[in-house]
Amino acid sequence: MCQIFVNTDPILYEARSRSVRIHGMVTSIRLENLFWNVLAGIAAEQGTTTNRLIVTLYDEVVEVHGSVQNLASFLRVSCVRYLTLTPDAAADDVAGEMKAVAAASGGDGASVVALRPGRARSR
């Protein structure tokens, strides 16, 4: 069983920092490449950018909990939950270009992470 894990391409667990502007404030987020790939796949499914997806997720967690204790950890958990809730995503090659995946709602094309109505989508 360990061969599944030890044969993972090291580039996937190499961490990269990216700057994201959240409401005028620039913040640096450090995630492993695999998580950046999953976020990019979710963003592509949503027809938005990775940065816009992160801002949307940030806004939604602030709305529900009042603050974000650890944005990088929240994003990692969000990626894992997304892959868990979308069985087709686990079958896709998330290490490279992630394909659009069926939604957890039964594959009817509905989005797992829906942008709120009235929010502009940027590319």
Backbone angles phi, psi at 82, to 5 degrees: -60, -50
* DSSP designation for 31: E
Q: What is the mean pLDDT of residues 90-102?
A: 45
Span 30-80, pLDDT tens digits: 999 999 999 999 999 999 999 999 999 999 999 999 999 999 999 999 999
- 61, 102 Cβ separation under 8 angstroms: no
Arithmetic mean of pLDDT over the chain: 79
Contacts of 26 (CB under 8 A, 6+ apart): 19, 20
Q: Please report which helix (H) or strand (E) contains residue 75, including its range.
A: helix 71-85
| Residue 67 backbone phi and psi in degrees, to 5 | -165, 170
